[in-house]
Amino acid sequence: MPPARKLHLPVSDTAEEAEDAFRKMCQALVIELGQMYDTVGLNQIGENWVEQIVAVGHSPEEVRDWHSPFDPSFVFGEPIKYPNSIVWRALPRNLRTKQLLKSCRWARNRWEHQNVVPTLSQLKEDMRPFAELSFDSGLELREALPALLERVNSVLAGTFTLEQANDTDSVPAGSDEIPEEAEREVEKDDREHKARQAQREARERQHPRPRVGGAWLGARPDKALQFRRQLNDLVDIATNSSVKGRWGDEAKLQIARLKVIDPMGDIYVDEEDGALFGYKYGTGFLLGYLGQEPARDASEVEGFALPHSYYLDEGDLFQVGANKSLRGQLGDASNQLLAVLNKAVNELDEIKITTHGDLFSITEDGIVKIARVEAKDWFPGQLPA
């Protein structure tokens, strides 16, 4: 018999523990919402109800892989895409629910495709839409989330010790056993997750350096530099001399990027290729290069993602949490970029941009680079220049 839904309670602030806790939380929400959808679908349409509503969809190319009410893509995407869907009968029918579904979908895609640093602090931040959707929809999951939050807080505060952990450190997230169809979807989700991990590791082995913005590979370089933000300078600590001249005409832009990246402590440079090492969130990253940046695959996203998120609506691009749109900021000058975005991006997907100006969407299948833009073609004041 399939097991009951459970949340993983992390025992340490490691990437593996944070990721496992997030995935179990997301799967628990998907299963419980899927059960509610399935009840409505069976009552209203009957057997094979998912296939029947997919068959009458207006965009079959986007929904052709929807076969189960326990598919995360279906659970989050179907009610967002189709405001008159029957699954809304299982949900509070309002704009807030639509926004929460979108936030959960976006968070899942970010974690799945490593567009976040997987920490317990990030988990705590991304728990919010899952908790709010659970409470608004009356899910049993809402009863388990406080225990997860309590554990995350205790680990972050240093009050939890490994002696308190056990081999099955979890909390039930529902009273019912998982339907067999839901269990199959969870197993499928886990297989796809492992396959993506293997693909990423294979790509990493092909390059001696990660992309700019990627986690550093190998030992930290020895030569230390000090980033003097107030003076707009990068200085060799041993000689107290400026090294920003090695960027030539790009020095102003590179300094502006470092200010946005805001690394912790000193920066270290590999004298062989100019690669810059620095810490963020306690992890070493490739910040950029002191000098010419080597060419990479043009489809690869370079740079650190800015904290802003964007979405398409009625042909315009909007910034999440701000009353701003690209057309509203730039007028007709935005037309060309908006045309590219509307052709390339699924309106359900989150759009981000990096310190390099690389514009990308985070889809269910992965990260897709759209274009590289300059500061003058973007929301004023957001891109380093």
pLDDT at 39: 95
Q: What is the pLDDT of residues 200-250, one digit of tens each?
A: 888 877 888 999 999 998 899 999 999 999 999 999 999 999 999 999 999
Least confident of 1-15, 109-123, 126-140, 173-187: 1-15
Q: How far apart are CA 382 and CA 370, in angstroms?
A: 18
Which is more confidently placed, 57 or 40? 40
- Better pLDDT: 208 or 338: 338
* Concatenated DSSP letters of 102-138: HHHHHHHHHHHTT-S---HHHHHHHHHHHHHHHHHTT
Cα 77 from Cα 68, distance rounded (Å): 12
Q: Mean per-residue pLDDT for 57-82?
A: 80
Q: Give the count of beta carbons closer than 10 Å to the beta carbon of residue 214.
A: 17
Q: Percent of the chain having pLDDT more than 90?
A: 79
3, pLDDT greater than 60: no
Q: How confident is the model at residue 63 (pLDDT cuts 50, 70, 90)?
A: low
Burial of 99 (0-12, 13-18, 19+ CB in 10 A): middle
* Nearest Cα residue to 121 out of 263, 15, 30: 15
Q: pLDDT at residue 57 above 70?
A: no
Helix (H, G, I), strand (E, B) or coil at 223: strand
Distance CA 18, CA 14 (A): 6
Q: How far apart are CA 155 and CA 164, in angstroms?
A: 11
With a cut of 70, say whether residue 2 has pLDDT above it: no
- Please give the distance of CA 66 from its chain centroid, rounded to a whole number: 22
Query: Can you list the pairs that 223-226 forms with residues at least 24 positions away whose Cβ atoms lie under 8 Å?
Result: 223/268, 223/269, 223/270, 223/271, 224/266, 224/267, 224/268, 225/266, 225/267, 225/268, 225/269, 225/276, 225/290, 226/266, 226/267
3-state secondary structure of 94: coil
- Whether the CB-CB separation of 108 and 26 falls below 8 Å is answered with yes
**pLDDT for the residue 118:** 92
In Å, what is the CA distance from 68 to each residue of 48, 73, 186, 307? 9, 9, 11, 34
The answer to whether 181 and 23 have CB atoms below 8 angstroms apart is: no
The tokens for 201 are 């590791």
What residue spans of the chain are helical by DSSP H?
15-44, 49-55, 60-63, 72-81, 95-112, 120-136, 141-157, 180-205, 251-261, 326-330, 335-344
Q: What is the pLDDT of residue 62?
A: 56
What residue type is 57 in one-letter code?
Answer: G
φ, ψ of residue 87 to 5 degrees: the values are -70, -15
pLDDT digits (tens, 9 = 90+) for 167-208: 568 888 887 788 999 999 999 999 999 999 898 888 877 888
With cut-offs at 50, 70 and 90, classify the pLDDT of residue 66.
Answer: confident
The answer to whether 343 touches 354, Cβ cutoff 8 Å, is: no
Q: Which pLDDT value is given to residue 262?
A: 96
**DSSP track, 265-319:** EEEEE-TTT-EEEEEETTEEEEEEESSPPPP--TTS--SPBPS--EEEETTEEEE
Residue 4 has pLDDT above 70, yes or no: no
The answer to whether residue 371 scores a pLDDT higher than 90 is yes
DSSP state of 215: B
Q: Can you tell me whether residue 366 is helix, strand or coil?
A: coil
Mean pLDDT of the chain: 92
The pLDDT of 312-336, averaged and rounded, is 94
Q: Rounded CA gap, 207 and 225, in Å?
A: 25
